[in-house]
Amino acid sequence: MMTALKTAPAPGAGRDKAAPIVEVRGIHKTYGEVVALENIDLDFEAGRLTSLLGPSGCGKTTLLKIVAGLLEPSAGQIRVKGRPVDGPGPERAFVFQDFALLPWATVLRNAAFGLEMQGVGRAEREEKARHYVAEVGLSGFEDKYPHELSGGMRQRVGLARALAVDADVLLMDEPFSAVDEQTRRKFQEDLIRLREVENKTFLFVTHSIEEAVYLSDRIILLSPRPGRVSQVIDLDIPRSGDPEAIRRDPVYLDMVDGIWHRLKHYVE
- How far apart are the two ends of the chain, measured CA to CA in Å? 34
Global pTM value: 0.86
Backbone angles phi, psi at 253, to 5 degrees: -65, -35
- Residue range 129-147: mean pLDDT, rounded: 93
Confidence of residue 221 (pLDDT cuts 50, 70, 90): very high
Confidence of residue 268 (pLDDT cuts 50, 70, 90): low
- Residue range 62-89: mean pLDDT, rounded: 95
Burial of 112 (0-12, 13-18, 19+ CB in 10 A): buried
User: Taking a C-beta distance cutoff of 8 angstroms, is the pair 136, 142 a contact?
Assistant: no
- What ranges do the domains of the chain cover? 1-6+20-91+175-268, 103-166
The CATH number for 1-6+20-91+175-268, chosen from 3.30.1330.10, 3.40.50.970, 3.40.50.300, 3.90.660.10, is: 3.40.50.300
Confidence of residue 3 (pLDDT cuts 50, 70, 90): very low
pLDDT of residue 74: 96
Q: Please say if the pLDDT value at position 113 is more than 60.
A: yes
pLDDT one-digit tens code per residue, 186-199 = 888 888 888 888 88
- Report which of residues 242 and 81 the model is more confident about: 81
- Mean pLDDT for all residues in the chain: 87
Which of the residue ranges 87-96, 161-170, 242-251 would you say has the lowest mean pLDDT? 242-251
Peptide bond into 226 cis (omega under 30): yes
Q: How large a percentage of the chain has pLDDT more than 70? A: 92
Cα distances (angstroms) measured from residue 20 to each of 42, 81, 105, 194, 200: 9, 7, 37, 22, 13
